[in-house]
Structure 1
Amino acid sequence: MRLFTLKYFTIHSLTCLVIALLTCLVISTPTLASSGNYLNHKLADDSVVITTDSVTVTLSAYGESAIAVHYQNLEDKLPASHLPSFAIKENAHNSKFVIKEDKDQLTLTVNKLSAVIKKTPFAISYYQKNKQQEDTLLIAEQQGFFRDTFVEEAEKIAVQGFRFHLNDTEKLLGGGERVLGMDRRGHSFPLYNRAHYGYTTQSEQMNFSIPAVMSSNKYIVLFDNSAKGYMDLAKKEKNTLEFSAIAGRMAYIVFSADTYPKLLNNYVDVTGKQPLPPRWSLGNYASRFGYRSEAEVRNTVNKFIDLDFPLDALILDLYWFGKDIKGHMGNLAWDKNAFPEPEKMISDIKEQGVNTILITEPFVLSTSGKWQDAVESQALAKDAQGKAKQFDFYFGNTGLVDVFNNKGQQWFNNIYRKLYQQGVAGWWGDLGEPEVHPSDTLHTLSDGSVVNADAIHNVYGHQWAKMVFENQLTMSPDQRPFILMRSGFAGSQRYGMIPWTGDVSRSWGGLKPQVELSLQMSVLGMAYTHSDLGGFAGGEKFDQEMYIRWLQYGVFQPIYRPHAQDNIAPEVVFHDKRTQDILREYIKLRYNLLPYNYTLAYQNSTTGMPLMRPLFFEQQFEESSAQAVKDKLENKANLTAFDNASSYLWGDAFLVTPVVSADVSSVAIDLPVGVWFDYFANKNEPSKKYQGNQTINLPTSLERLPVLVRAGAFIPMNDDIQSTQDYDASKLTLHYYADDSVATADYEMYEDDGKTYQAIEKGLFELLQFSANQQQQQLSISLIRKGKGYSGMPKERNMTVVIHNITQAPSKIKLNNKVIKTGLWQEKSNTLTVTFAWQHQPITLTIQ
């Protein structure tokens, strides 16, 4: 069974050159190349084009506070310097600069962000205006860009990049998927998407690079370059951020804001927002490497149902198109021996509430049934002679679909179209780094230009996702696409990409970095980043405790998808009764929380706010004076929350601390300000209350995940269901966590039909707005419905309102000032439950 460990581990010999090349980059000492002296500037639409005696620099403003900068060298240009921006969303609209000029400098301002351009020698510094309208330096170029060369196989390779000044104390997140700790200052790493099989607590290079950093000083710098390169975050040289690439655009974008959530909002306004996923994608998945027959698929689905486990999707790995691991990749057609009636199978399990997702890879083996067709259709990337590029890797001799080429897209899309017509509901794009991508592979872009693999390696998965996304909408314009992929680029979220953290070790070491990985990706737009629950790679025997802890954590993770090599079953239904009994309650809770989780998806799609949120998002510096700004920059403000990868916020209500070690009886938790309740307290006793802004030790057991809920939180929930196919919007349980410390609280729940594409943009939704007001001996909870609604929206809701921390029986309960008798106070748990029918008129529940 250890054969499976080779699936993603084998590296083609040419890929090894990448590592050597990147090592050269890291140890190379760059030479600053002056960007010359300012000569003139002009307006081109809303952009400003500056000419110096060395470069042309184009600055464009986007959104509220984003400035994009594109350098074009007047002398030797890097290969593929003509490439477009892959990071900036399609049809992005420029904002207008306010322009000021004197003899020494040119200042371009959009909202509170200014680019101050020193004329001689040319360089750009970026300032953010604070509440006192004073300019605070965020980051500054070190004399424009630099050039360097290194020697590879007797050939000089040119690189160019940017260097920026950092201040002494700021912390930096970014770079995408790496396991380096939350604050990545002091690290240098390659920008080259590459699988790291079986990683645990350290990894400098993984599947999904994002060439960007977020600073504790509330700015983001995104390097808008798709080529092989690297970033150095003040490791090589103190207080210097460095980016370099061997090809592509020399461009970057600076974003700024007053708060971290607003900063992320500004980022996704430019790079694109994640479309709302189908509601079923928030449910439970059955997945393994892999189901080998139609009978196994049917038996697995039935076992979930028989054992009372909700299920919404089943994912088929590569055995759907071939009985062996090797030799079949590229067939992309059902193996009829193993799956004799795939359309009926898909239809039958769909009736049981289960959607079918298929793996697809971009590699077409020369031994596959579609090789000749792919060659004749000119669907594959080419070699220098214009023939289909062939190379060897673990799965066999292969070519690579050219997803940049119109012919490659058409060929691939035709395959997706046939499978979609058979009933397939979602797509899994695997090996999309691409896992093996020889440097001399040539890709043809839509404009007819040809570039080598190194120039666009990091956007292969990004382009693949775009192709699948647009093709899906062509086939079914009203249906939300589902696209699971492990590799992409800045802005991939706008194509509905759902990434995962690669082939993690099935061990405690594999579990430990998962919060860090998801948070790092989430703060740069990829909010659905999640892990193979339970771990993927290796494992000699079933570790019950580790497995349970990982799947408990998954309840508060964007996608609930256990997946692994099948020497140990990844599905809970194939384990012992105790494991099942513990995890059944958690998986059912995942479904109970659908109204809350779906609202998180809505918040992400409208603002970029992640589902999993780092604790420093709670930490908003009060910039009430110039001294406060100075204190922040001198690190007198507390920045320790930036280092916290132990706990995170699931939405606004929950504080989650996964258990990532064996035999743990309590966990240390740094509480944000406010009052917090133990969410998993015994139902027959009041939830223990903790004052925030301190570190506590919260008891835990194998049955109990450490989760706290914020005082003043509303949590909408629904009843148990077998799948989201049974979701009933006409019933709603609304929990409210009352406390004297919270005088007022507000919450907005989003609801639609769960499937219509662009429901938000089309206005096909409703918003249920809940507010609480607590004064002395009276608590009022108001309910208001807004929005034009959607097909199937309930005309009336059966409401169950559960109010926590009610320490004595109420003397009177009123509904719109009419006394009602439906309240039930539980002395043991200090909860009050009130039921009533709501016809969506404004209504107020008053507790006295």
Structure 2
Amino acid sequence: MKNIKILFPLLFIYIVGFAQNSNRVFKNIEQTKNGLEINVNDGKYLITFINEKIVETTFFPKGEEVNMKSHAVVLKAEDLEITPVLGNQSEFFSNGISVHVNHNPFQIIYKYNNEVIISEKQGYFKSKHIPLENVKGNIIAKETEKIEFNLTDNEVLYGAGARALGMNRRGNRLALFNRAHYGYETHSELMNFTLPIVISSKKYMLHFDNAPVGYLDLDSKKDNCLTYETISGRKTYQVIVGDSWIDLIDNYTNLTGKQPLPPRWALGNFSSRFGYHSQQETENTIAKFKSAKIPVDAVILDLYWFGKDIQGTMGNLEVYKDSFPDIKGMISNFKNKGVKTVFITEPFILTNSKKWNEAVEKDVLGKDSVGNPAKYDFYFGNTGIVDIYKKEGKDWFWNIYKDILSLGVKGLWGDLGEPEVHPTWVQHATGSANEVHNTYGHDWAKLIFEGYKTEFPNERPFILMRAGYSGSQRFGMIPWSGDVNRTWGGLQSQPEIALQMGMQGFGYMHSDLGGFAGANLDDNLYVRWLQYGVFQPIFRPHAQEDVASEPVFRSEKAKKLAKKAIELRYKLLPYNYNLAFENNQKGTPLMRPIFFEEDAEKLMSNSETYLWGKDFLITPILQDSVKTKEIYFPKTANWFNFYVDEKIEGGQTKTVKVKEKSIPTYVRGGAFILMTDVVQTTDNYKANKLELHYYYDASVKESERTFYNDDGITANAFEKRNYELLEFEAEISKRWLEIELEAEFGSNWQSSEKEIMLVIHNINWNPKKIKVAGKRKRITPQNNVLKIPVKWNPKKEVAIKISLK
């Protein structure tokens, strides 16, 4: 049991902005198991200390019942002991976060490390609904319920889901209503993934734990005011704090769930377009990858797998045999080549589709106001929508997925899950369209994930979706940034979207590489987008078919440069797989904003340069014909050019030359980067032949890195003790650079000998002595790079010593 100490200072005065709702009168505070109940004249507050870095507050208006079920939260509150409360002002301390209650005038304030984090301003109130223009007709209510907070002048605000607004989202009022934005470029206020999350540069998060649609106002009136607004539902929010950015995201993903490790093949290259019309076209495409020796791990079939036409076939959800006469054989042949097959699905069942009558008969669809299957028109035809909120709908949909998976399919794509068209009058088993609209994609992913757990418990699902909600990451969701325009403007918004979503728990947010919308044939844009793709979570070129998305159909020059990028992606597989493990363990994003490295005000809005994991500093080329690029190098390290080993001291902005064959890529001094030979599919990767690159920097006296490995396919391999952790340590003394290799294993892991090529960069002297496991080696550096082959039985530690003279 942990104690919360309750103190009553003689002088407790905190004035910020305006005091809370002046009509709200404090009555009393009562003790609860692990928090407090504060009674006021118009309702009550229930405050729960979930742990020392997370506190949850719910307001219950007088006479109103509030649903206590959360779509997002999975973390159970710790048991706490609380002593009785007396006095005119009260302070409630855990060992971390604290809650301060002013009785008169009434106000709730949150502190961490004795500093104010956030405070309620008016707190909860109702007022007239003023709809934003972009959701008029979508969010309908005469009045909305609001929770209002004070901000400080200089806070930078992130969050609210996937948007293209610039990194600092302060100054915007944003709709919480998932909706696709076709062909967006540098500015998009409303996209597929809206999330009720605000993140402050003061390293706290506010998560509004409520499903219905609404708004986030991030100080749009310039009055230092943050407001959450909703049509209905829970008046619940969590305040989450952290000692660092990594700690903050760890705490949030403890609250809402960690992302399971994806299958390793998900980190490889995808062959994808909208779409492959036939079995022959699909097979010919993969054959071209193989003949060009361009690595490929998966092929994605868009909607032509169930119909010949774009319109009028959605909802068939069974193989169209005229176009795919032997799809099971095709999938099996691909599998033998190391290529996995992914199928698209949608939640819409057209009234003229093969499944409509069955869906009506089995009562699996959303309803209209009188209880009939809801029918309405959209681009693809007259449709209904699967009601995944009733048992019949869930079971019916999952049985279709079981049929798909029985063909040998290894990945499932859920498209249009905002849902794309979702009239407010549609009723689901648990409420109206607007009450479940934002969580539909979330619960759709949950349906698939839980089906896998029941039917295929040892298999890692691959669930590609473009809409979800807070906490969807725990269902293994792989999100992408929607129908971005195939232009430089479309590319420019992608780092921001991925970085923002990584901070909100979605470490695998990625883009359709090359851009999706429009018939723009621009090889330079295409290559630059794929080069950026090497250092973003999922490498999946995808586009409308009028211009090919696959490198095998591009010009020889573009194909050559794309192949080089894809090969680098595969060489980085050991490093990237460890990033996936870090995300699984701590929620840490694969792509990380530069201010994670250096917490400077000038960097808080920078998305042009970012970290790929801990040790790569990446600056994608986001404009045409760029010859030079100004890059800021964080002062926390020295940085080495990945391609030519040039050293740049941290803490400066430097103009660097831009090469056609790569984007500016730098490695932290003192880092270990684990790489492998290029393989044509991740099926051929065994992690027994590796390159271990060490970037020698005399200023880094000690450094250590750990790399995770398992079989890449078994669900919960780490929990099942079926893994290895490879540990590399460097230490610089007066006379020696010593590098140690050691490993630890899960009890069910079978270790095997490894061939390691140790590549030490920045060795600008000829070492007099080199010893491997005590045995002398005669090796001369070439171009300041020393390569030492090491045969290593991971059950034993190996030491490599290089003299510094």
Smaller-chain TM-score range?
Answer: over 0.9
Deviation at 1:421, TM superposition (A): 1.2
In structure 1, what is the Cα distance between the partners aligned to 2:269 and 2:319? 25
In structure 2, what is the Cα distance between the partners aligned to 1:32 and 1:431? 41
Give the letter for the 1:825 counterpart: P
The answer to whether the aligner puts 1:678 opposite 2:678 as a matched pair is no
Given that 2:21 and 2:121 are in contact with CA atoms closer than 8 Å, whether structure 1 keeps it comes out as: no
Distance 1:35 1:93, change over 3 A: farther
In structure 1, what is the Cα distance between the partners aligned to 2:22 and 2:128? 16
Given that 2:19 and 2:121 are in contact with CA atoms closer than 8 Å, whether structure 1 keeps it comes out as: no
Distance 1:33 1:137, change over 3 A: closer
- Between 423-432 and 101-110, the greater mean CA deviation after superposition: 101-110
Deviation at 1:536, TM superposition (A): 0.1
Q: Deviations over 1:774-800 (max 9, x none)?
A: 123421101111122545x44211111
State which of 36, 39, 45 in structure 1 corresponds to 2:24. Answer: 36
Give the letter for the 2:785 counterpart: T
In structure 1, what is the Cα distance between the partners aligned to 2:142 and 2:374? 23
Counterpart in 1 of 2:786? 832
Q: Deviations over 1:784-842 (max 9, x none)?
A: 11122545x44211111000000122111112333234x3521x2x1000112111111
Q: What RMSD in Å do the two structures reach over aligned CA positions? A: 1.8
The answer to whether the aligner puts 1:648 opposite 2:610 as a matched pair is yes
The answer to whether the aligner puts 1:799 opposite 2:787 as a matched pair is no
The answer to whether the aligner puts 1:528 opposite 2:513 as a matched pair is no
Counterpart in 2 of 1:67? 55
State which of 73, 79, 96 in structure 1 corresponds to 2:80. Answer: 96
Counterpart in 2 of 1:626? none
Deviation at 1:740, TM superposition (A): 0.9
Counterpart in 2 of 1:175? 160
Given that 2:701 and 2:731 are in contact with CA atoms closer than 8 Å, whether structure 1 keeps it comes out as: yes
Give the letter for the 1:322 counterpart: G
Q: Provide the identity percentage.
A: 44
Give matches, 1:255-270, under 5 Å: 255-270=240-255
Counterpart in 2 of 1:584? 563
Aligned residue for 2:439, secondary structure, equals helix
Given that 1:191 and 1:229 are in contact with CA atoms closer than 8 Å, whether structure 2 keeps it comes out as: yes
Counterpart in 1 of 2:8? none
Deviation at 1:701, TM superposition (A): 2.1
Give matches, 1:120-519, under 5 Å: 120-129=104-113, 135-150=114-129, 157-445=142-430, 451-519=431-499
How many pairs were matched up? 777
In structure 2, what is the Cα distance between the partners aligned to 1:145 and 1:778? 64
Given that 1:36 and 1:55 are in contact with CA atoms closer than 8 Å, whether structure 2 keeps it comes out as: no
Aligned residue for 1:534, secondary structure, equals coil
For structure 1, which runs of at least 5 residues remain unmatched after alignment? Answer: 1-29, 130-134, 446-450, 621-637, 682-686
Deviation at 1:403, TM superposition (A): 1.3
In structure 2, what is the Cα distance between the partners aligned to 1:466 and 1:746? 38
Aligned residue for 1:94, secondary structure, equals coil
Aligned residue for 1:531, secondary structure, equals coil
Counterpart in 2 of 1:763? 721
Deviation at 1:768, TM superposition (A): 0.8
Deviation at 1:68, TM superposition (A): 1.1
Give the letter for the 2:151 counterpart: L
Q: Deviations over 1:421-450 (max 9, x none)?
A: 1111011100000011111111113xxxxx
In structure 2, what is the Cα distance between the partners aligned to 1:404 and 1:617? 39
Aligned residue for 1:551, secondary structure, equals helix
Distance 1:801 1:93, change over 3 A: same
In structure 1, what is the Cα distance between the partners aligned to 2:246 and 2:627? 34
State which of 694, 697, 718 in structure 2 corresponds to 1:739. Answer: 697
Give the letter for the 1:665 counterpart: K
Distance 1:722 1:820, change over 3 A: same
Give the letter for the 2:464 counterpart: L
Distance 1:787 1:320, change over 3 A: same
Given that 2:19 and 2:106 are in contact with CA atoms closer than 8 Å, whether structure 1 keeps it comes out as: no
Deviation at 1:111, TM superposition (A): 3.0
Given that 1:261 and 1:609 are in contact with CA atoms closer than 8 Å, whether structure 2 keeps it comes out as: yes
Counterpart in 2 of 1:630? none
Aligned residue for 1:137, secondary structure, equals strand
In structure 2, what is the Cα distance between the partners aligned to 1:98 and 1:539? 64
Give the letter for the 1:192 counterpart: F
Distance 1:97 1:199, change over 3 A: farther
Aligned residue for 1:772, secondary structure, equals strand
Counterpart in 2 of 1:844? 799
Aligned residue for 2:719, secondary structure, equals helix
Distance 1:269 1:498, change over 3 A: same
State which of 646, 652, 670 in structure 2 corresponds to 1:694. Answer: 652
Give the letter for the 1:545 counterpart: N
In structure 1, what is the Cα distance between the partners aligned to 2:53 and 2:606? 28
Given that 1:196 and 1:207 are in contact with CA atoms closer than 8 Å, whether structure 2 keeps it comes out as: yes
The answer to whether the aligner puts 1:601 opposite 2:580 as a matched pair is yes
Deviation at 1:517, TM superposition (A): 0.3
- Between 769-778 and 668-677, the greater mean CA deviation after superposition: 769-778
Given that 2:342 and 2:410 are in contact with CA atoms closer than 8 Å, whether structure 1 keeps it comes out as: yes
Deviation at 1:35, TM superposition (A): 7.3
Deviation at 1:121, TM superposition (A): 4.0
Counterpart in 2 of 1:783? 741
Given that 2:253 and 2:505 are in contact with CA atoms closer than 8 Å, whether structure 1 keeps it comes out as: yes
Deviation at 1:51, TM superposition (A): 2.4
Given that 1:318 and 1:325 are in contact with CA atoms closer than 8 Å, whether structure 2 keeps it comes out as: yes
In structure 2, what is the Cα distance between the partners aligned to 1:838 and 1:64? 44
In structure 2, what is the Cα distance between the partners aligned to 1:145 and 1:546? 48
Aligned residue for 2:760, secondary structure, equals strand
Give the letter for the 1:605 counterpart: N
The answer to whether the aligner puts 1:550 opposite 2:529 as a matched pair is yes
Give the letter for the 2:456 counterpart: S
Give the letter for the 1:543 counterpart: D
Distance 1:98 1:167, change over 3 A: farther
Aligned residue for 2:640, secondary structure, equals strand
Distance 1:151 1:735, change over 3 A: closer
- Between 111-120 and 496-505, the greater mean CA deviation after superposition: 111-120
In structure 2, what is the Cα distance between the partners aligned to 1:669 and 1:790? 46
Given that 2:48 and 2:77 are in contact with CA atoms closer than 8 Å, whether structure 1 keeps it comes out as: no
Aligned residue for 1:643, secondary structure, equals coil
- Between 738-747 and 771-780, the greater mean CA deviation after superposition: 771-780
In structure 2, what is the Cα distance between the partners aligned to 1:82 and 1:388? 27
Q: Deviations over 1:336-389 (max 9, x none)?
A: 100111111111101000001010000000010000111111111111111111
Q: Deviations over 1:141-164 (max 9, x none)?
A: 0132121134999x9623111111
Q: Deviations over 1:199-255 (max 9, x none)?
A: 001111000011111111110011112111111111124110111001111111100
Deviation at 1:32, TM superposition (A): 7.9
Q: Deviations over 1:528-582 (max 9, x none)?
A: 0000000000034x10100000000000010000000000000001112111111
Larger RCO, structures 1/2 (Cα 8 Å, 6+ apart)? 1
In structure 2, what is the Cα distance between the partners aligned to 1:64 and 1:733? 42
TM-score computed with the length of structure 2 as normaliser: 0.94
Deviation at 1:83, TM superposition (A): 6.3
Given that 1:32 and 1:147 are in contact with CA atoms closer than 8 Å, whether structure 2 keeps it comes out as: no
Distance 1:34 1:526, change over 3 A: farther
For structure 2, which runs of at least 5 residues remain unmatched after alignment? Answer: 1-17, 132-136
Given that 2:194 and 2:438 are in contact with CA atoms closer than 8 Å, whether structure 1 keeps it comes out as: yes
In structure 2, what is the Cα distance between the partners aligned to 1:281 and 1:742? 34
In structure 2, what is the Cα distance between the partners aligned to 1:813 and 1:83? 65
Give the letter for the 1:735 counterpart: H
Given that 2:29 and 2:85 are in contact with CA atoms closer than 8 Å, whether structure 1 keeps it comes out as: no
